[in-house]
Structure 1
Amino acid sequence: MTYKFQARLNSEWTLESPDGARFPLGDILRLLAAIEATGNIAGACRECGVSYRHAWGLLRRAEGVFEAGLLETSRRQGTKLTPFAHHLLWANRRMEARLAPTLQSMASELQEALESLHPEIRPRLRLHASHGFAVEGLIQQASAHEMLSIELRYRTATEALASLTRNECDLAGFQVPVGEFEHAILEHYSPWLNADQHCLIYLAQRDTGMFVQPDNPKNIHSIADLIKPDVRFVNRQIGSSTRFLVGLMLRRLGIDPRQVNGYDSSEFTHMAIAAHIASGMADVGIGVETAAWRCGLSFIPLAKERYFFAVNRDSLTSSSMRQLLALLNGERYRKFVSGLVGYDAGQMGQVMTLNEAFPQLAGKAA
């Protein structure tokens, strides 16, 4: 019998008063999100699976705890969230986006521990990669694939590639922009990529750009606009490939990063960047288009990035790697990635040498 359970960790806020009384926020946050999505309480009740009476009781109790109204109701506009409720909801979304990589990595560690105690464990692949939508979907697909287990650790691209050279993982995820900045990014990765030792598995191409409010009130249209005095920028964490790419773009324009208000601020995921802007804490950030779309933001394209898994050549013949390639070339996962806004799954699952993926490397070697 194969171990068939999937370990998952979730976070949930709780408010505690001085007398020790506790008010869990999970139910009210889910209800508010459903009201925002449906525009009425009845629809939110159906989505959350609660009665109308229970929903109103929960709302009234929450308003008492917060000492603030949560809903505005009118005949013409239906039911909408108050500014307080809106900020509360986006604060939770920011925290969820920040915690997601940590919780998923911890869940993966627990899964590994549980499977190691089982007499018959599935073949396991160790994947180190930055947090992204295609990678997230791959883990979900693999967990439903009973013959393949993927142990995930979220790392920056350079950390993942360094782990591969130390044999601490089987796959290292990294992205490379197409065009002008490709060479500089490859130089950045070069200490950990060896054409004789490694080959690449192509995952997808994705659109990366700037996230701004839907009406773009600050008239942000290019990287040069980041130095406008009234523009607040939110960056990715130190060591991330996206932050490195932003630095290259600024350098091309002769802009000192210190001129950018918020350059030293950071978030760890594309969704955290989008939630940061959607909540009004910043005016612009950079990430994958999927995140902008999910948070209702406008997207200004900057670059197309190809995403790869680097692997050791001699690992391609292992049974677990063959199962991964079968998953990547399967219709279900391809359909999932193709459905992500800003993703192109056209070459997914192709195995190629570094020189095939980046012909300029061959020219440099010659």
Structure 2
Amino acid sequence: MIRIEIQPRWRFHQTDGSSLDPQGLSLLQNVHDSGKLTEAAARSGYSYRHAWNLLGKWEAFFGSPLIELQRGKGARLTSLGEKLLRADQRIRARLAPQLDNLAGELEIELNRALQETRPGLRIHASHGFAVAALREWLEQDGRWQWELQFRSGVEAMLSLQRRDCDLAGLHVPAGPLGNLSMARIQPWLRTEHRVITFVVRTQGLILAPGNPLGIAGLADLQRSGLRLVNREQGSGTRMLLESLLQQAAIDTADIDGFHNEEYTHAAVAAYVASGMADVGFGVEAAARLFGLAFIPIAREHYCLLCHQDSLALPAMGALLEVLQNPEFQARIAQLPGYALSRPGEVLPLAQALEQWSRESLL
């Protein structure tokens, strides 16, 4: 089974024609994580001398120091070092879905040509931490050629309607708010649809460490000068925020940055971490990944939706086995803000919605 991984790679250039290879970014990341240049060098696979020379080359190129060494206190990134690191994190978070989709398409073509696997399931779902973990776990099963493409919630529903996929990711807020969310995609829902339960996740406000602006809730998004970074139109998270604002009678026109969009939870968090926005809306796991503050606002079920006849597909049993695997469930349980919700249980859509509507929003 051939696997393909595509990673972004960027290079710095000066007007005089000089350039700089980005290999020093991993060293900056490890300095940030460890607080020690010696340990950062070891983690990067460099000798201390090579790491020191690499930093010298970078600092000469930019004309400014990237780390500060303090006697007895180790090393820390300067403001410029932090900005370079945050820029790299934003690039990776923003491009991850597109690059993963492209890698998946190439994998399918190559492995079909090699005839090494049987066709698995076509899954279209929004990019998220639990879905990414599911993809990694499925790829360990070399018997099947899984096709997991990252799509917005609306795009996934359209794919399911056209039979371009076998399973679509579906976000359903807990409590009565779920009915409002479902009304937005009602044209694509069918009585024969079946829900495969997966996880419950917590969504909320992503803020700078320590919440220096004292943001307390959604009403503060209307505050003058407060900059929001949002998810893209059609995503389940964007629809959840719109439903919450509608419920609270908050006009989106009063929110600075409401139409400033990123395509993943991690990209939203990276945007806030870089200081380009004061607040974002997304899952807790993204906030914790970047060391940011988080205010929980709502719980939502993240499940997989399929046509009833798709349950008979040969690979469906393998998927359900993964969802019910205790080791996989333990992996999901480690994600901040995620909780298992009887993963792998199959329910009629109407029954699932009725159950979730009786739950509390938070």
TM-score normalised to the size of structure 2? 0.95
CA offsets per residue over residues 242-298 of structure 1, 9 Å max, x none?
A: 222222222223222111011110111000111111111111111011001111011
Shift of 1:148: 2.6
- The residue number in structure 2 matching 1:310 is 305
Q: Quick check: 88-97 or 180-189, which moved more?
A: 180-189
Shift of 1:206: 0.5
| Preserved contact between residue 2 and residue 111 of structure 2 (Cα < 8 Å) | no
1:228 correspondence with 2:223 = yes
| Preserved contact between residue 338 and residue 345 of structure 1 (Cα < 8 Å) | yes
In 2, Cα distance between the equivalents of 1:19 and 1:125? Answer: 52
In 2, Cα distance between the equivalents of 1:286 and 1:272? Answer: 11
- The residue number in structure 1 matching 2:237 is 242
- The residue number in structure 2 matching 1:158 is 154
Shift of 1:181: 1.2
- The residue number in structure 2 matching 1:72 is 68
Q: Counterpart of 1:281 in structure 2: which amino acid?
A: M
In 1, Cα distance between the equivalents of 2:56 and 2:187? Answer: 59
1:47 correspondence with 2:28 = no
Q: 1:194 aligns with which of 179, 190, 194?
A: 190
In 1, Cα distance between the equivalents of 2:315 and 2:50? Answer: 48
Shift of 1:77: 2.7
Q: Quick check: 31-40 or 150-159, which moved more?
A: 150-159
In 2, Cα distance between the equivalents of 1:30 and 1:64? Answer: 18
In 1, Cα distance between the equivalents of 2:183 and 2:329? Answer: 30
> What is the identity percentage for the equivalent residue pairs of Structure 1 and Structure 2?
39
In 1, Cα distance between the equivalents of 2:242 and 2:348? Answer: 28
Instruction: Show structure 2 runs of 5+ residues with no match.
Output: 358-362
List aligned pairs for 1:339-350, cutoff 5 A.
339-350=334-345
In 2, Cα distance between the equivalents of 1:353 and 1:254? Answer: 33
1:295 correspondence with 2:290 = yes
| Preserved contact between residue 354 and residue 361 of structure 1 (Cα < 8 Å) | no
Shift of 1:359: 2.1
- Relative to structure 1, is the Cα distance of residues 66 and 317 closer, same or farther in structure 2, using a 3 angstrom cutoff? same
Q: Counterpart of 1:134 in structure 2: which amino acid?
A: A
Q: Counterpart of 2:83 in structure 1: which amino acid?
A: H
- The residue number in structure 1 matching 2:280 is 285
- Relative to structure 1, is the Cα distance of residues 103 and 127 closer, same or farther in structure 2, using a 3 angstrom cutoff? same
In 2, Cα distance between the equivalents of 1:219 and 1:241? Answer: 27
Aligned length: 357
In 2, Cα distance between the equivalents of 1:287 and 1:119? Answer: 40
Q: Counterpart of 2:203 in structure 1: which amino acid?
A: T
TM-score normalised to the size of structure 1? 0.94
Shift of 1:308: 1.0
| Preserved contact between residue 176 and residue 185 of structure 1 (Cα < 8 Å) | yes
Q: 1:140 aligns with which of 133, 136, 141?
A: 136
Q: Counterpart of 1:129 in structure 2: which amino acid?
A: A
1:10 correspondence with 2:7 = yes
Shift of 1:19: 5.3
Instruction: Show structure 1 runs of 5+ residues with no match.
Output: none
CA offsets per residue over residues 311-362 of structure 1, 9 Å max, x none?
A: 1111112211111111111122111111111111141111111122012899
| Preserved contact between residue 2 and residue 110 of structure 2 (Cα < 8 Å) | no
Q: Counterpart of 1:251 in structure 2: which amino acid?
A: Q
- Relative to structure 1, is the Cα distance of residues 40 and 180 closer, same or farther in structure 2, using a 3 angstrom cutoff? same
In 1, Cα distance between the equivalents of 2:313 and 2:247? Answer: 44
In 2, Cα distance between the equivalents of 1:85 and 1:107? Answer: 31
- Relative to structure 1, is the Cα distance of residues 348 and 293 closer, same or farther in structure 2, using a 3 angstrom cutoff? same
Q: Counterpart of 2:328 in structure 1: which amino acid?
A: Y
1:130 correspondence with 2:112 = no
Q: Counterpart of 1:182 in structure 2: which amino acid?
A: G
Q: 2:113 aligns with which of 114, 117, 120?
A: 117
- The residue number in structure 2 matching 1:38 is 34
SS in 2 for 1:172: strand
Shift of 1:180: 3.5
1:356 correspondence with 2:351 = yes
- The residue number in structure 2 matching 1:319 is 314
Question: Over aligned residues, Cα RMSD in angstroms?
Answer: 1.6
In 2, Cα distance between the equivalents of 1:53 and 1:361? Answer: 58
- The residue number in structure 1 matching 2:360 is none
In 1, Cα distance between the equivalents of 2:135 and 2:239? Answer: 26
In 1, Cα distance between the equivalents of 2:237 and 2:278? Answer: 17
